[in-house]
Structure 1
Amino acid sequence: MRHHHAYLWLGHGDVLVRPGDAHRRPNHPEFRTAQVMPLECADWLLKPASRIAGTFYEPGDAARWYAGRLAEYGELFDGAYAVTPSYGETVRVLSAGEDRVGGWWVSGGRFLSVSLIACSPHRVRPVYGCPLRETP
C-alpha cells in the first residue's frame, strides 16, 4: 500500500558540505549513520527506519504533519523567506504519489529539511524497499 514517510533534519549548514557531500550519497560508508539529509530525496528510504518521524497512509494526514512542522519551526525563518505550500497543493502532490520536500536556510547558519517521501513504490526509485516492514 502506497504511503509517505516523514523526515526532518535541522542542523548546521557546515555539516551539509563538510568537505564535499560524499557522506550524503548512498555509496559512502557513513551514509546510513550520517544524521544529515541525503542528496537525493528518495535516498531517505535507504536510511535506518529510526529516522522516520511519521508514516502516513492518508495524504491529508501527511499534509497536516508537513504544515505543522513549518509552523513549529516558523520562528527560525529569516523574514519572509519561507515559501509555504498550500495544504490543498500538498494533498494533491501526495495523492499523485509524489514527494513533498522543502529545505530552507534558517537563522544561525542552519538548514531545515522537511520531507514526505513516497514509499511502496517510489516513483523515481521503485526498486527501493520500504524501510519499515509492510503489514498486510
Structure 2
Amino acid sequence: MNRPHHHAYTWLGHGSVLVKPGDAHRRPGHPEFRSAAVMPLKCADWLLKPPDRIRATFHEPEAAADWYTEQLTAHADLFVGTYASVPVREEYVHALATGEDVVGGWWISGERFLSLNLIACSPHRVRPGYTCPQW
C-alpha cells in the first residue's frame, strides 16, 4: 500500500459548464467523465480522473495546507458575494492529518467557479476501494 497522502486538484471555469445542460458528464458512469475537465460531483471521484489532472501530491499535511492557503490567497481578490471566513491553516493541517479531504468552491468574477481540492489517497476514507492514480 502507498503511504497516505493527498492529491491536489483545481478547476476554474465558467459556471455554465457545471450544468451543461445537466450534470451527467460529472458522474463516473458517463462516457465524457474521464475527459471532462470539469470537477466531478463527488470530491473523491477526482481519483477516477486521469493522473494528469493532479496538480501536486503531498505526503505532509503542512505542505498540503500551505498549497491550499496559497491558492486561496492567489484568487481571493476575484471572489464575488459574501463568504464566511476561511478556516485558518491549522484547521486544514488537522483535517489533512486525520485523512480527511479539504475541498472548497467559490464563485469568482466573470461568472466563473473555482474549485480547490486536496483528496486523500491510499486509502480514501469514504471510498476505500478507489485506487490511487498513478503518474
TM-score tier, shorter chain, comes to over 0.9
1:100 matched residue in structure 2: 102
Q: 1:83 to 1:31 in 2, by over 3 A?
A: farther
| TM-score, scaled relative to structure 2 | 0.95
2:63 matched residue in structure 1: 61
Q: Distance in 2 between matches of 1:42 and 1:80?
A: 27
Match of 1:15 among 17, 31, 36: 17
Sequence identity, in percent?
A: 65
Q: Alignment partner of 1:15: what SS?
A: helix
Q: Distance in 2 between matches of 1:82 and 1:109?
A: 19
| TM-score, scaled relative to structure 1 | 0.94
Q: Alpha-carbon deviation of 1:80? A: 4.6
Q: Distance in 1 between matches of 2:32 and 2:80?
A: 31
Alignment of 1:69-108 (within 5 A): 69-78=71-80, 80-81=82-83, 83-108=85-110
Q: Alignment partner of 2:110: what SS?
A: helix
Q: Alignment partner of 1:74: what SS?
A: helix
| 2:23 paired with 1:2 | no
Amino acid at match of 1:102: G
Q: What is the number of residues matched between the two proteins?
A: 133
Give a deviation string over 1:63-112, Cα, whole Å, max 9, x none: 00000000111111125536422100000000010000000111111100
1:42 matched residue in structure 2: 44
1:110 matched residue in structure 2: 112
Q: Distance in 2 between matches of 1:103 and 1:40?
A: 13
Amino acid at match of 2:111: G
Any gaps of 5 or more consecutive residues in structure 1?
A: none
| Alignment check: 8 A CA contact 1:82 1:104 kept | no
